């Protein structure tokens, strides 16, 4: 992507949140990362998100994150739009990564600053400083799980910043979703940040979703999204119900831990998590194997297990 206009135009559809595969020693498996990216592009995903929350960005150095950005953007070669998470607790790192992401043709994804007792005025000021650094604009990530929950009124203020092209919304309270969809739709792109409960936001008029579990179940989640996209809500509902058991495990044992374990069981490059996270234990893997076997037995899922 070369500028704000192209960035906004291409920012829609289903984006795979690509996990960062680590070796048992904690090193980044760049080849495995690129294979995972290639898989979802080949399947027909509209875009990818790199180095986000479930890409374990808080455990990565700035140099590692920059290396991941460069390697992935080379591999993608502009075939699909790429969100590059430049969030961080140090504004100096955020500035460096935001500028790099835009320079590479990706869309930087920025969270509010991780500072206690920060005011709304300071949050707006922070985004006004970051947004002009990228020629492709920025994506505001409202991520309650890792920082401050941005209220709808504050998100409306951020939407007025010219270089903000979209919001990735992690607060999926139905009232909040309804408010954002009706007040911000058309002004900028709205993304649902969770595939665990994406049907509601999409029915309200959101422009797309980012999906972590599509690393493990890429065929099934893509099929559900495409059904909803073409107006077939019944099929989308039925396909979403298929992986309810998996979602229960994901909520209980955590993402990206379960996603990586499921990817490994399928022969994908899930790899390991990095400390302070811990790979799921064998009893959990056994439960996950049962759930994947059940899904593979249903032809609607598209799930195929390795021999």
Residue of 175, 227, 231, 177 whose CA lies nearest to 201: 177
Q: Express each pLDDT in 205-223 by its tens digit.
A: 999 999 999 999 999 999 9
Q: Express each pLDDT in 275-285 by its tens digit.
A: 999 999 999 99
Integer-rounded Cα radius of gyration of the chain: 18
Residue of 144, 142, 130 whose CA lies nearest to 101: 130
Neighbours of 244 (CB within 10 A): 10
pLDDT of 232 reads 96
Q: Are strands 138-142 and 13-18 parallel, antiparallel or unpaired?
A: unpaired
Going along the chain from its start, the domains and CATH numbers come out as 4-243 (3.20.20.70)
pLDDT of 114 reads 83
Instruction: List the catalytic residue out of 45, 141, 225, 246.
Output: 141
Q: Express each pLDDT in 10-24 by its tens digit.
A: 999 999 999 999 999
Q: Does pLDDT of 147 surpass 80? A: no
pLDDT of 107 reads 98
Mean pLDDT of 99-114: 95
Q: Express each pLDDT in 56-69 by its tens digit.
A: 999 999 999 999 99
- Looking at 86-100, 145-159, 217-231, which range is the least confident one? 145-159
Neighbours of 195 (CB within 10 A): 25
Mean pLDDT of 104-118: 92
Instruction: List the catalytic residue out of 12, 45, 168, 225.
Output: 168
168 is catalytic: yes
Average of per-residue pLDDT values in the chain: 95
- From residue 86, give the alpha-carbon distance in Å to each of 176, 187, 200, 216, 222: 25, 23, 28, 24, 26
- CA 46 to chain CA centroid, Å, is 12
**Which pTM does this prediction carry?**
0.96
pLDDT of 145 reads 76
């Amino acid at each position: 992507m070369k500028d704000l206009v192209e960035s906004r135009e291409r920012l829609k559809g289903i984006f795979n949140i690509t996990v960062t595969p680590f070796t048992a020693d904690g090193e980044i498996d760049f080849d495995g990362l690129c294979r995972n990216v290639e898989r979802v592009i080949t399947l027909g995903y509209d875009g990818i998100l790199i180095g986000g929350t479930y890409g374990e960005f808080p455990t990565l150095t700035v140099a590692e994150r920059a290396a991941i950005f460069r390697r992935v953007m080379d591999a993608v070669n502009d075939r699909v739009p790429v969100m590059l998470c430049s969030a961080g607790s140090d504004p100096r790192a955020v500035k460096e990564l935001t500028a790099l992401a835009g320079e590479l043709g990706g869309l930087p994804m920025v969270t509010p600053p991780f500072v206690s007792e920060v005011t709304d005025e300071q949050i707006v000021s922070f985004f006004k400083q970051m947004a002009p650094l990228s020629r492709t604009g920025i994506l505001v990530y409202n991520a309650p799980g890792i920082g401050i929950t941005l209220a709808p009124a504050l998100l409306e203020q951020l939407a007025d910043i010219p270089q903000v092209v979209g919001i990735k919304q992690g607060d999926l309270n139905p009232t909040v979703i309804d408010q954002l969809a009706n007040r911000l739709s058309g002004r900028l792109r709205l993304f649902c940040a969770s595939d665990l409960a994406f049907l509601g936001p999409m029915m309200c008029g959101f422009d797309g979703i980012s999906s972590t579990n599509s690393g493990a179940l890429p065929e099934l989640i893509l099929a559900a999204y495409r059904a909803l996209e073409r107006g077939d809500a019944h099929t989308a509902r039925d396909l979403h119900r298929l992986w309810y058991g998996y979602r229960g495990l994901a909520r209980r044992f955590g993402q990206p831990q379960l996603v990586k374990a499921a990817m490994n069981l399928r022969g994908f490059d899930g790899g390991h998590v990095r400390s302070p996270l811990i790979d799921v234990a064998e009893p959990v893997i056994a439960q996950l194997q049962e759930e994947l076997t059940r899904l593979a037995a249903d032809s609607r899922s598209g799930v195929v297990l390795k021999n």
